[in-house]
Structure 1
């Protein structure tokens, strides 16, 4: 595959820090990208850097009086709902997860920006009092083809933490939780790919060959998914990621969006998040970001280059956080992000479940009869 040079050396990061990094990275990437979510265009990297620095300065100089003044979106709402259900039940309980999704949505302010079709689905299951087959409403959407948006991937960070060390169970749970809202094979495979990327980052100390990282991920997806129909587009997009990673010149936002894409579709936005993580391993790739650590480079690039800025930001943040650990995020931004304390609590709860082996983690997630 070829070795991409000049990556920062990175020491061994404790697993608890990686768990915290994955959850906190997902939240922070969402919060950072939220500012640009409705613009649906590329933003100058220096503009996002300025926002990052100005926010940190407000905290340092105590201009920000209240903790959590930078809001998150529906991405983090659903990530918390899924993770907290896994901890509460010590297993995957689809009806409980769906109820959490719907109740949180019903109580949310419009600024959370739930997608239109997700909002329709969640209102529908709530009005039905969560009775019947909980997977059926999602199967009916889009004339029976199901959604291939990125909504089931944006929330998936708790899944590889719950089943850390077991890619088969990670894949199965990523798939099952996806089918609650996104049943199209492209949507399901996007959630699996994102979960596997987080798991691979958790297990990796140093990435010497980013292109091989992508190839390994695709091969793992190909092996583990039961939805083979949605794979061809992921082969194409992973190849596009590898192509851009090997570019000798600076990859700019228009090229990134032409070759990979970064809209709400799963098959574009998940490869985009993986690209942002891997492209910024080398601090020299983007001169404006060279003085920042790899975690910040990945998330700032994702927010700047991506049309769906909050979601690509949260997914890139989850992967980067799993790799670099939570210490890579500044204390100022931990203070600034809404629900950062809850994110750490969620990560610690999943870490405890994983290390103690309590609950039904030895059982594969099983869907209700469809």
Structure 2
């Protein structure tokens, strides 16, 4: 997912937007964003505890928070208050007039968790919800995180599942929500090939909500699970929240691209932070 995040982030740089039409790789270095920073905390907590310890995850999110990585204003404020001793449970639940955030932040960071628990989809659902609730308590955000985590797990275990069956399998585990409905719509759109048209119907993350982001990323992942480069260019072509959509798609399909992420891309990507303890990109499996 780091490679997708770093690749997608380059298209917020005006000169690089023109590379989409010619599919020229943006110049190095590709810097990753808050998507990767938070995913690294998830990986670190899983490596240390074998489960999502919500207190540890909140502490890691706050301690590792780098304001310059592109966090949204609500998350910036919340993590600053956690560092100052605030209760993450109260802060997360109080966001947006007590409704909680339904943003795409919980979905963008969860792929490593899906790979970690890939052999037990019920546990994937449970752990994904725990990981989401630390910052995103709204049911749509939780549903988005569950959908991405399950999609990653399904890809790890059954990479050759036909696209329609792949989306059906994911949707079976996603609670009733706009995300769930969006996955059903993505299933109906598998016969089209134009990502801009699919994004017009499903969203591309421009609204930064889970239901405006996750269905489109699953549409791409279902169609392009065996071609990382095609998946990235297809995702980026739709515009919107490109670093997040590319991070989600990259995280999902890494399960079927084990150790085959393109070397010219890996060489452009900023290394992962040493504190994460994650494998380098040239030894990647499903998590990064």
Q: TM-score, normalised by structure 2?
A: 0.88
Matches within 5 A, 1:130-169: 132=87, 134-169=88-123
Structure 1 stretches of 4+ with a deviation exceeding 6 A read none
Contact kept? 2:43, 2:276, Cα under 8 Å:
no
Identify the residue that residue 240 of structure 2 maps to in structure 1. 307
Would you say how many aligned residue pairs link Structure 1 and Structure 2?
Answer: 277
Partners of 1:262 and 1:269 within 8 A in 2: yes
Instruction: Render the CA deviation track for 1:176-232: whole Å, top value 9, x for unaligned.
Output: 11011000000001000000000000011413x31221122111224xxxxxxxx24
User: In the alignment, is the contact (CA less than 8 A) between 1:85 and 1:97 conserved in 2?
Assistant: yes
Residue 30 of structure 1 corresponds to which residue in structure 2?
A: 5
Matched, 1:50 2:24: yes
Q: Taking structure 1 as reference, are residues 205 and 75 closer, same or farther at Cα in structure 2, changes over 3 Å only?
A: closer
Q: SS at 1:266's partner residue?
A: coil
Deviation at 1:259, TM superposition (A): 0.6
Whether the aligned pair in 2 keeps the contact of 1:44 and 1:304 (CA below 8 Å) is no
CA deviation after TM superposition for structure 1 residue 100, in Å:
1.1
2: distance between equivalents of 1:294 and 1:344? 27
Alignment partner, residue 60 of structure 2: 100
Match of 2:163 in 1: 210
The 3-state SS of whatever aligns with 1:182 is coil
Mapped contact 1:43–1:305 kept (Cα < 8 A)? no
8 Å contact from structure 2 (residues 95, 101) kept in 1: yes
Structure 1: where are the runs of 5+ without partners? 1-25, 56-63, 223-230, 282-292, 352-370
* Bigger-Rg structure (1/2): 1
| Structure 1 residues 212-291: aligned runs within 5 Å | 212-222=165-175, 231-247=176-192, 250-253=193-196, 255-263=197-205, 264-280=208-224
The 8 Å contact of residues 45 and 301 in structure 1, kept in 2 or not, is answered as no
Q: CA deviation at 1:332?
A: 2.4
SS at match of 2:98: coil
Separation (CA, whole Å) in 1 of partners of 2:144 and 2:118: 18
CA-CA distance at 1:162 after TM superposition: 2.7
- Secondary structure (helix, strand or coil) at the match of 1:141 reads helix
1:122 aligns with 2:109: no
Cα drift, residue 38 of structure 1: 7.2
Contact preservation (8 Å) 1:139, 1:145 = yes
Q: Residues 251-299 of structure 1: CA distance to partner in whole angstroms, max 9, x if unpaired?
A: 241x222210012111121111111122335xxxxxxxxxxx7111111
Label 1:344 to 1:295 Cα distance change in 2 as closer, same or farther (>3 A): farther
Give 1:187's match in structure 2, choosing from 125, 141, 145: 141
Please, which moves more after superposition, 262-271 or 307-316? 262-271
What is the DSSP-based 3-state SS (H/G/I as helix, E as strand, rest coil) of the residue aligned with 2:110?
A: coil
Counterpart check, 1:79 vs 2:22:
no
- What is the CA–CA distance in structure 1 between the aligned matches of 2:58 and 2:276, rounded to whole Å? 23
Instruction: Structure 2: state its 5+ residue gaps.
Output: 284-288
Distance in 1 (CA, whole Å) between partners of 2:96 and 2:44 is 29
Deviation at 1:344, TM superposition (A): 10
Q: CA deviation at 1:342?
A: 5.6
TM-fit CA distance, 1:345: 5.2
Relative to structure 1, the CA distance from residue 90 to residue 277 in structure 2 (aligned partners, 3 Å threshold; closer, same or farther) is closer
2:51 to 71, 91, 97: 91
